Amino acid sequence: MKVKKAVKIISILCLLLVSTGCWDSIELDDLGIVVAMGIDKEEEGFTMTLQIIKPQPKGQDGNEGKIWVGASSGQTLFDASKNFRAKVPARLTFMHNQIIIIGEKAAKDGLDDIIDFLSRNREIRYKSWVIITQGEAKKVLQLTPGLQPTLFEEIIGLIENKDEWAKQETSTIKDFLISFSNPYKDIVTARLILVDPEVMGSQQEEVDQMSSATVTMQKKIILDGASVIKGSKLSGWMTKTETRSYLFLKGKASEAIIVVPYKDGEISVEIGEVKSKFTPKFKKGKPLVEVEIKGLGRIGETNVPLDFFDIYEISKVEKILNQRIEGELKNSIEKFQGQYNADILGIGDMYFRSHTSWWGKNQHKWFKGLYQEVIFDIKVDIKIDNSGFLIQPVLGGN
Are 299 and 293 in contact, with CB atoms under 8 Å apart?
Answer: no
**pLDDT on residue 6:** 52
Q: Give yes or no for residue 166 having a pLDDT over 90.
A: no
Q: Give yes or no for residue 217 having a pLDDT over 90.
A: no
Distances (CA, A) of 129 to 101, 195, 241: 8, 21, 22
Picking from 112-126, 244-258, 294-308, 335-349, which range would have the lowest pLDDT averaged per residue? 294-308
Q: Give yes or no for residue 297 having a pLDDT over 80.
A: yes
Higher pLDDT, 41 or 29: 41
Helix, strand, or coil (residue 301) = strand
Q: Give yes or no for residue 352 having a pLDDT over 80.
A: yes
pLDDT band (50, 70, 90) for residue 37: very high
Average the pLDDT over 120-132 and give the result: 96
Average the pLDDT over 324-329 and give the result: 98
Top CATH class, 247-386: alpha beta
pLDDT exceeding 90 applies to what percent of the chain?
A: 66
Q: Give yes or no for residue 205 having a pLDDT over 50.
A: no
Average the pLDDT over 337-363 and give the result: 97
Spans of all domains in the chain? 2-238, 247-386
Average the pLDDT over 120-146 and give the result: 94
**pLDDT on residue 211:** 46
Q: Give yes or no for residue 8 having a pLDDT over 80.
A: no
**pLDDT on residue 172:** 97
E strands in the chain: 22-23, 26-27, 31-42, 45-54, 66-74, 91-93, 99-102, 129-133, 171-172, 187-195, 220-230, 233-238, 257-262, 265-283, 286-302, 375-386
pLDDT in tens, 239-270: 999 999 999 999 999 889 999 999 999 999 99
**pLDDT on residue 167:** 86
200 phi, psi to nearest 5 deg: -55, -40
Average the pLDDT over 307-335 and give the result: 95
Are 267 and 258 in contact, with CB atoms under 8 Å apart?
Answer: no
**pLDDT on residue 124:** 95
Helix, strand, or coil (residue 147) = coil
**pLDDT on residue 386:** 60
Q: Give yes or no for residue 288 having a pLDDT over 70.
A: yes
**pLDDT on residue 102:** 99
Mean pLDDT rounded to a whole number for the chain: 86
**pLDDT on residue 20:** 42
How far apart CA 77 and CA 52 sit, in angstroms, is 17
pLDDT exceeding 70 applies to what percent of the chain?
A: 81
Strands 187-195 and 220-230: what pairing?
Answer: antiparallel
